[in-house]
Structure 1
Amino acid sequence: MQVWHDLAQAVEAFAVGVGDGGHTSAVVTIGNFDGVHRGHQAVLGRVVGLARADDRAAVALTFDPHPAQVHRPDAAPELLTGLTDKLALMAETGLDGVLVVPYTLELAALTPDEFVTRYLVEALRARTVVVGHDVRFGKDNSGNLASMVDLGGVHGFEVVAVDDIGLSRLRTPGGSARWSSSAARLLLAEGDVAGAAAILGRPHRLRGVVVHGDARGRLLGFPTANLGRISGMVPADGVYAGRLLRPSLDDAHPDRDLPAAVSVGTNPTFDGVDRRVEAYVLDRDDLDLYDEEVVVELVDRLRPTLRFDGVDALVAQMHDDVDRARGILG
């Protein structure tokens, strides 16, 4: 999948042809795609299917940063995925290209016609545009489905409107049954990583660089990888069964995908104040992960964070946590 970070790159790509077929026009969709959840996957899959049928490139336009971080930074939601993971997940759907548009107030001031002309028509050469019925775009979100259809008539592209795809049967906080980024965030805020995974279509992921901590885990017999510079929404404090993935290693490497018990919290038994994410790779004390970028997947929550009366009680609980994690992870 090609990734373009400005209009010039996209224009140049379409001039020579995008994808294996060397396509010079596209089926395009627009969205933030935070988390690339099952609803997003279905929409992107629809784009890919239409593109293959029409012999065009399958392309998505997304924004970085998230618009809410520009318009209301103090109230912006915590993002489920950083840009690196979002693009990797989008690539898995079969897209030929993604245009990452830097979101600015200048971009937000474009009229619907200016936005469509500049990005969808001139840059991505859209012949079909796939959007939801609730699509909004352009200055003050004044563009909607009807105006997109009108602009399609002017610029020569078809508009395909998709309904909410694959409603979740989960009971989510707030009563939402829709596969949505906000529903996944609410579940993660409660520590329900299994519920969030049902929306995301996979375990929730955190990405970070392993940094030095207090080395307390090693002294207790459970050496942990402490994550710094984390991207991805950190869930509620607690202990989780999960996996530690090492993207720098080949897929076939035996240490690329490792079962882990993951702690999120402040270590209250030791009066900690800094909130941390620490992963103990089950039954391993020989790994040197410092300064390595890793991904932690969270499969299920074992328990909330607790304060223990002493080190012996904590260590006993950690042994129990590891045994339970081992059972969950098989």
Structure 2
Amino acid sequence: MQHWTGLEAVPAGFGPAVVTIGNFDGVHRGHCAVLRQLVGEAERRDAAAVAITFDPHPRQVHQPDQAPPLIMGLEDRTELIAECGVDALLTLHYTLDFAQATAQEFVESVIVDALGACTVVIGHDVRFGCGNHGDFQTMVELGRRYGFDVVGIDDVGSGRRWSSTWIRESLAAGDVATAAEVLGRPHRMRGEVVHGAARGRELGFPTANLAPTADGIIPADGVYAGWLVDEAGTRWPAAISVGSNPTFEGVGRQVEAHVIDRPDEPVEDFDLYGQRVGVEFVERLRPMVAYRGVDALIEQMNDDVAQARAVLRPRGSGGESTGETAPAARTE
């Protein structure tokens, strides 16, 4: 997939294209349905399938104090849009000046002049242009004027419409299973592994600590079964802790993943520090609570690992953990 980060990067004379527009935060199952229809329409018309998105999110520009947290960063959003089969992604830098363009100016400069659209695929609730004055009917009328068709897409979902709002609500409640159902995959954070207080190592449970600047929504405090995905794409079964670790004072809120069932022998050339890794949340095991003493905490952590192992064990594995063949990692 080609990724253009501005109109100036689009090749001259590009087109014909079938185009869709959206923030695509989360690239959830509803987004994927739209992108699949985009790709199918492009194939039928022998055209390129192009998605248009914005960075930062428009709400972060217009209402920074009220903007919702982003489900994922641009890196993951781009990767997942590419997996849907889209030919090109145009990411437009969203600013207050950019937002002054009228609906007609946006369509003329971006959809017509830059992308040579023959078709636009959008939801019936679409809004675009200055003040969000452009809607679905506006796009139809502009299509007649500029010579492109408009294909409308209905909401999709199972009972409730699949949406980024639903995902955020689920993650805030620690319900990562529902979030995964709407996303079509486990929720993922992505960030650099940094040094922490090394308490996990001292207790016998070394952890990979995500930097505070990691992309993606942090779920509710608690312990989760999930995966750590390193830069090479290796997936490591993990017990993931989210919170301030109330057993110890003075610890800020953090996300740390303990890779389970690592071989005893060290692998000297494998080190997660400084790597930009993904942490995926599969199931919440328990809330975060304070324990009276280190011994009680260690007992609970052993139980957490056993539960995580059971959750992540592949079906038909005969009781063997998915982590038993994973390489070892040196983390805190």
TM-score (norm. length: structure 1): 0.91
CA distance in 1, matches of 2:216, 2:309: 24
CA distance in 1, matches of 2:168, 2:39: 27
Quick check: 1:222 aligned with 2:205? yes
Q: SS at 2:105's partner residue? A: helix
- 1:32 matched to which residue of 2? 23
Quick check: 1:117 aligned with 2:129? no
- 1:164 matched to which residue of 2? 155
- 1:173 matched to which residue of 2? none
1:182 is aligned, of 141, 165, 190, to 165
1:107, CA displacement in angstroms? 1.2
CA distance in 1, matches of 2:70, 2:181: 18
Name stretches of at least 5 consecutive residues in structure 1 with no aligned partner: 16-23, 170-176
Residues 1-330 of structure 1 aligned to structure 2 (within 5 Å): 1-12=1-12, 14-15=13-14, 24-165=15-156, 167-169=157-159, 177-228=160-211, 229-246=213-230, 248-249=231-232, 256-284=234-262, 286=266, 288-330=271-313
1:271, CA displacement in angstroms? 1.6
CA distance in 2, matches of 1:117, 1:179: 31
Aligned identity (percent) is: 58
1:38, CA displacement in angstroms? 0.1
The one-letter amino acid of 2:217's match is M
Name stretches of at least 5 consecutive residues in structure 2 with no aligned partner: 314-332
> Cα deviation per residue 1:282-308 (whole Å; 9 max; x = unaligned)?
023745211111001100000000000
1:106, CA displacement in angstroms? 1.0
1:213, CA displacement in angstroms? 0.2
CA distance in 2, matches of 1:119, 1:236: 40
> Cα deviation per residue 1:112-170 (whole Å; 9 max; x = unaligned)?
100000110111111100111111111111101111101001110000011002x224x
The one-letter amino acid of 1:258's match is W
The one-letter amino acid of 1:208's match is G
- 2:316 matched to which residue of 1? none
CA distance in 2, matches of 1:192, 1:261: 16
The one-letter amino acid of 1:41's match is C
The one-letter amino acid of 2:158's match is S
Q: SS at 2:71's partner residue? A: coil
| Count of aligned residue pairs for this structure pair | 307
The one-letter amino acid of 1:183's match is W
